[in-house]
């Protein structure tokens, strides 16, 4: 699939892949520990109705904070990558989220955790745009689709790793200490940083960037007549990908936990057994979603090369809408609903995978980092409304598994609308050289 690449080109792909995977790993740790972390910081007894409502509400709030900070970091580091180079920007993103992750483990209040997650998000936000730009500028044009899709496979694998780490710590080693287990989970988010940092030492500056002017780009250029259509297309696919992914995925571990709680109460399980079941179902829910995502990300390669970018996006939009409607709209048994998350992941991650190689194809080198960061991260700002709204509505209605599913089902409207706009708004880039 990627035959003929040099050792250095593989090194660049590997560095960007590790950085993105570890970033997503770190970003999702909170969603796994939320059911233990939030009641502890608020002084609430785990498992009570008050604790469940508070967990749903604050999961939405903190996911929204993460997305806004993520967006700010993406624009900041995207500008930095265009002004001072890709390599420096990549190194700084790691240092920023490493500090934030470490501080989260020592939070003593919900306000402190919110602040530390915001700091973490700044570093996480720069990783995707800069890494995608560097990969697109390094690999040959005939392998751009494969390299971009391969980069996106790091996301579901990073989340699956997060689920394994959380289950091992919170579900096995410290299952009897939920008030403190989440701190050790957060600390694990720091470990991969050293590996990514070591790899990044060997990365050279992009030759395409060095050949450009190096002048600081301005946001206004993205809305000039020559780039207006590209910016509109980038905003449409970014917003659809991010709003769909976050409105669903932010609540996948929590949904697994709540469904497990329903089963535990129905079967009269003891508290420790119920805790172990909750941690196991968190992992099962996340793994189903992300295994589907891994397959969906890889499937974008033949689809985009054979059909083109526009038909591929439309297909994934329609699949995502149908999968969300079926998974969250039908009265399904708990085990079936968890399994159906696999189908949701296929569509949602497929949009993301195509996004990775599509955005760099739209913009010239001098603004590629800024444009990718701006469009992708403006999508994050607007997408922050998704988990916030889902969390607020579900918490207000009691924070049950039924309420969450009844709320999330409305997310299907987003990819449906995108599918209607796509024929006119998405610019086809198949077969075009990367803009200079």
Q: According to the model, what pLDDT value does residue 420 have?
A: 97
- Fold type of domain 7-208+222-425: Growth Hormone; Chain: A; (1.20.1250)
Q: Which residues of the chain have pLDDT under 70?
A: 1, 128-129, 199-200, 212-217, 384, 386-399
Tens digit of each residue's pLDDT (9 = 90 or more) over 207-247: 777 776 555 567 778 888 888 999 999 999 988 988 888 77
Cα separation, 83 vs 247, whole angstroms: 33
Does residue 244 contact residue 320 with C-beta atoms inside 8 Å? yes
Mean pLDDT of the chain: 85
Q: Could you tell me the residue ranges of all domains in the chain?
A: 7-208+222-425
If you write DSSP's letter for every residue of 301-320 in order, what string do you get? HHHHHHH-HHHHHHHHHHHH
Q: According to the model, what pLDDT value does residue 85 have?
A: 76
Does residue 314 contact residue 419 with C-beta atoms inside 8 Å? yes
- For the chain, the 3-state helix, strand and coil shares in percent, each to the nearest 5, are 85, 0, 15
Cα separation, 23 vs 57, whole angstroms: 24
Does residue 325 contact residue 297 with C-beta atoms inside 8 Å? no
Tens digit of each residue's pLDDT (9 = 90 or more) over 308-326: 999 999 999 999 999 999 9
If you write DSSP's letter for every residue of 88-133 in order, what string do you get? HHHHHHHHHHHHHHHHHTT--SHHHHHHHHHHHHHHHHHHHHHHHH
Handedness of CA 378, 383, 384, 389 (dihedral sign): positive
Q: According to the model, what pLDDT value does residue 391 have?
A: 64
Q: According to the model, what pLDDT value does residue 395 have?
A: 65
Q: According to the model, what pLDDT value does residue 428 have?
A: 95
Supply the Cα-derived Rg of the chain in whole angstroms: 21
Q: According to the model, what pLDDT value does residue 89 have?
A: 81
Does residue 340 contact residue 327 with C-beta atoms inside 8 Å? yes
Q: According to the model, what pLDDT value does residue 374 have?
A: 78
3-class secondary structure, 48: coil
Cα separation, 8 vs 421, whole angstroms: 40
């Amino acid at each position: 699939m990627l035959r003929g690449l040099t050792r250095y080109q593989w090194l660049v792909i590997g560095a960007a892949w590790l950085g993105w995977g570890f970033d997503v790993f770190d970003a999702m740790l909170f969603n796994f520990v939320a059911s233990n972390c939030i009641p502890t910081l608020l002084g609430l007894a785990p498992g009570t109705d008050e604790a469940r409502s508070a967990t749903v509400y604050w999961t939405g709030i903190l996911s929204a904070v993460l997305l806004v900070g993520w967006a700010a970091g993406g624009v900041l580091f995207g500008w930095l990558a265009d002004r001072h180079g890709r390599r420096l920007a990549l190194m700084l993103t790691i240092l920023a989220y490493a500090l934030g992750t470490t501080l989260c483990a020592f939070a003593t209040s919900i306000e402190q955790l919110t602040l530390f997650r915001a700091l973490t998000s700044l570093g996480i936000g720069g990783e995707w745009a800069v890494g995608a730009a560097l990969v697109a500028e390094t690999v040959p044009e005939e392998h751009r689709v494969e390299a971009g899709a391969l980069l996106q496979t790091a996301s579901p694998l990073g989340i699956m790793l997060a689920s394994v780490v959380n289950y091992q710590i919170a579900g096995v080693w410290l299952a009897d200490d939920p008030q403190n287990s989440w701190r050790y989970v957060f600390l694990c988010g720091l470990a991969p940083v050293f590996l990514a940092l070591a790899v990044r030492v060997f990365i050279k500056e992009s030759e395409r960037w060095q050949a450009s002017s190096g002048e600081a780009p301005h946001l206004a250029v993205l809305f000039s007549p020559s780039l207006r259509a590209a910016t509109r297309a980038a905003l449409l696919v970014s917003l659809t990908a991010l709003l769909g992914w976050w409105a669903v995925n932010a609540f996948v571990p929590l949904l697994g936990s709540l469904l497990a709680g329903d089963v535990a109460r129905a079967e009269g399980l003891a508290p420790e057994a119920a805790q172990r079941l909750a941690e196991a179902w968190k992992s099962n829910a996340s793994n189903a979603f992300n295994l589907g995502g891994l397959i969906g990300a890889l499937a974008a390669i033949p689809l985009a090369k054979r059909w083109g970018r526009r038909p591929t996006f439309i297909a994934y939009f329609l699949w995502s809408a149908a999968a969300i409607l079926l998974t969250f709209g039908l009265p399904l048994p708990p085990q079936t609903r968890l399994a159906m998350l696999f189908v949701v992941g296929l569509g949602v991650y497929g949009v993301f995978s195509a996004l990775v190689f599509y955005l760099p194809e739209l913009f010239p080198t001098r603004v590629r980092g800024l444009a990718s960061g701006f469009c992708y991260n403006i999508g994050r700002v607007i997408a922050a409304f998704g988990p916030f709204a889902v969390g607020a509505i579900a918490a207000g209605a009691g924070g049950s598994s039924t309420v969450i599913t009844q709320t999330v089902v409305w997310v299907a409207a987003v990819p449906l609308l995108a599918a209607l706009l796509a024929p006119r708004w998405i610019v086809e880039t198949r077969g075009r050289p990367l803009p200079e």
